[in-house]
Structure 1
Amino acid sequence: MNNEVIKVFVGCDPNNCDLEQMMVLDYSLHKHTQHQVQITWMQLSHDPKSPWYTNQDSKEGWRTEKWATPFSGFRWAIPESCNYQGRAIYMDADVVVLCDIAELWAHPKTDEAIVIAKGGKNSARLCTCVWDCEKAKHYLPPLKDIQADPDAHKKLMQLLKDKPELVQSYQSSYNNIDGEDLPIEQIKILHYSDMGTQFSHKYSLPRLEASGQKHWFDGKIMPHPRQDLTELFDQYYQEALSAGYRPENYIIQPFGDFSKATQINYHGNKVTRPADDKNWFTRSIENLKSKFRKKRFSLDD
């Protein structure tokens, strides 16, 4: 890799709700690599010159009203933001890196793929992925068109469902979702994906409450089922503080109100909220249906 800079784009809340996530991610990235890492925090902006610009009143820039998070559609803007040159890694903010990020940066890719992500024949998750920015230019609309379409995120996911050859799969532990029954030693990148069980809530929610602010996630908060992963996050949180990282280092001028889908009825994922929580009859019906259901290509949102 020589002196190549590893470019990492991170989707973040624009109102300082997830400073603890940003701090831990930043620290974990640098803890495990000797390579130069350049982080771009992708946050909604009032600046018309910013690639993350939105004017919610005039409906200019990003249309966010159908997004599940404050940054759902940003991943599609990365290739153009890199002038369609080289590679770029995308991550959600709720990630702890447990390996040298250079491993993922240098992951082999097939000629036809535009992105390297978790998945296989029938699925893919882009919440941690590597873009081939030059290849992506041939398939992604111009940034202004992506921004202006409230359904762009859904349409571009459908593009990859229709053309699964555009997604090169990697070892699934590079985007380990809430543990997935793996010991910590086998996890390369931990994505604590369930928004209701995120480890950072124990730090962020009291901080926000003290300042009279609410978190953007409006669903139910509950404990994470993996105590060892909870302790791992706490360990990295304390290590980051000891190394001079501080949540306040990531504070920006708050963006303010923006449109976003609600998570009041959010149900998490099968890892954190397994089917065991359902009654016997419901499980039996779902198991029977699954035997006859045709597999379809699925993608995270």
Structure 2
Amino acid sequence: MSPETVRVFVGCDPNDCDLEQMLVLEHSLRRHASLPVDIRWMQLSSNPDSPWYSDPARRAGWRTERWATPFSGFRWAIPAVCGYQGRAIYMDTDTIVLDDIAGLWRAPIDDGAIVLARRDKSFSRFCVSLWDCAAARAHLPAATQLRADPDAHGNCMKYFQRHPQLIGAIDPAYNNIDGEHQPIENIKILHYSDMGTQFSHAHAMPRLRAEGREHWFDGKLLPHPRRDLADLFERTYAEALAAGRKLDDYRNPTPFGAFAKKSERGHRGNRVTRPGLLARVGRFFGS
């Protein structure tokens, strides 16, 4: 693969709950990209040969029971999956790309840093991040250890909290959380992070009910406070369909089935979507 092919790893649900998000992300990413893009969907798999293999009944492969999402811990294995070579971008699936991804892909990573991520005062957000895969090898647990340890996700977050010098600061516009009082033209990647207010729910929830399924998010659904961002999602969704993309293109041919994860019945969102509540920092860890 050419070094100018942008490798983008996306964490998403393995049971077709995130189809709308996947469709919007890919359409928006490719629409603005000036470089070739290789998107790799990271989904729990029952295939032992998959890097995302998990068998909850046997407690084999990835242990997800302490994750907030079906993919929370996958991001730490990306350098290993890349053979500790080159660069790789990670994104949660609940994102809309509004700028050329080449700007992030080619961003300089300072000496001593192994990843670019958004740094906010006392913590960092890795929900959009750029990895130097070779440099990360000395600091991340082996993939086998990541998979076997249900606390690996939280432990990696804590490790980087203790070693902030490993994190280069990303332009916050590449991980804009739910608008943050910024006009759309100032946003490069919109992360509609509050799981209770995600725009895709308006489509996914009725679709899943019609299919006799349930969404993995079990918290309370609320309207998003930014109507303009909701309209942006709807426009991008309609454009993707008009361009020939179909939800069925994103269906998992072998849905994973039941898996363990934390309940989000008490999900408190963030300070942008719910300014009346003090959103806990820990909620960003699982986004």
Same fold by TM (over 0.5)? yes
CA contact (8 A) 1:25 1:97 kept: yes
2:260 paired residue number: 259
What residue number does 2:134 align with? 134
Aligned position for 1:12: 12
Write the distance in 2 (CA, Å) between the matches of 1:298 and 1:194: 9
Would you say the 8 A contact 2:12–2:92 is kept in 1?
yes
Deviation per CA, 1:241-261: give whole Å up to 9, x if none. Answer: 111111110001210000000
Counterpart of 1:38 in structure 2 is 38
Q: 2:98: which partner in 1? A: 98
Query: Which residue number in structure 2 is paired with residue 289 of structure 1?
Result: none
Matches within 5 A, 1:139-158: 139-158=139-158
Give RMSD over aligned pairs: 1.8
Structure 1: 5+ residue stretches without partners: 287-295
Conservation of the 8 A alpha-carbon contact between 2:69 and 2:261: yes
Aligned to 1:158, the other structure's residue is in SS state: helix
- 2:224 pairs with 1:224: yes
Q: 2:3, 2:86 within 8 Å by CA — same for their partners in 1? A: no
The one-letter code matched in structure 1 to 2:233 is F
Runs of 4+ more than 6 Å apart: 296-299
Sequence identity, in percent? 55
Structure 2: any 5+ residue segments left out of the alignment?
A: none
Matched ranges for 1:58-69 at <5 A: 58-69=58-69
Please list the CA deviations of residues 84-114 of structure 1 after superposition, one character each: whole Å capped at 9, or x if unmatched.
0000000000000000000001111111111
- 2:200 is equivalent to residue 200 of structure 1: yes
What is the CA-CA distance between 1:124 and the residue it aligns to?
1.0
CA distance in 1, matches of 2:152, 2:244: 40
Maintained 8 Å contact 1:161/1:299: no
Aligned residues: 283
Task: Give the Å deviation of 1:3.
Answer: 6.6
1:47-126 mapped onto 2 (5 Å cutoff): 47-120=47-120, 122-126=122-126
User: Counterpart of 1:38 in structure 2: which amino acid?
Assistant: D
Instruction: Flag the 1:3–1:61 CA change in 2: closer, same or farther, 3 A.
Output: closer
Cα 1:121–1:221, aligned 2, differ >3 Å: closer, same or farther? Answer: closer
Give the conservation status (yes or no) of the 8 Å contact 1:11–1:91: yes
Question: Cα 1:298–1:265, aligned 2, differ >3 Å: closer, same or farther?
Answer: closer
What amino acid is aligned across from residue 20 of structure 1 in structure 2?
E
Q: TM-score, normalised by structure 1?
A: 0.91
Structure 1 residue 34 displacement after superposition:
2.4
**CA distance in 2 between partners of 1:120 and 1:109 (Å):** 18
Secondary structure of the corresponding residue to residue 129 of structure 1? strand
Secondary structure of the corresponding residue to residue 168 of structure 1: strand
- Whether the 8 Å contact between 1:161 and 1:298 is mirrored in structure 2 is no
State the distance in 2 between where 1:152 and 1:297 align. 15
* Equivalence map 1:183-194=2 (5 Å): 183-194=183-194
1:266 and 1:298, CA in 2 relative to 1: closer, same or farther beyond 3 A?
closer
The 3-state SS of whatever aligns with 1:234 is helix
**What secondary structure does 1:4 align onto?**
coil
- 3-state SS in 1 of match to 2:264: coil
Matches of 1:3 and 1:177 in 2, distance apart?
Answer: 29
Q: Distance in 2 between matches of 1:74 and 1:23?
A: 20
CA distance in 2, matches of 1:121, 1:203: 36
How far did 1:121 drift? 5.1
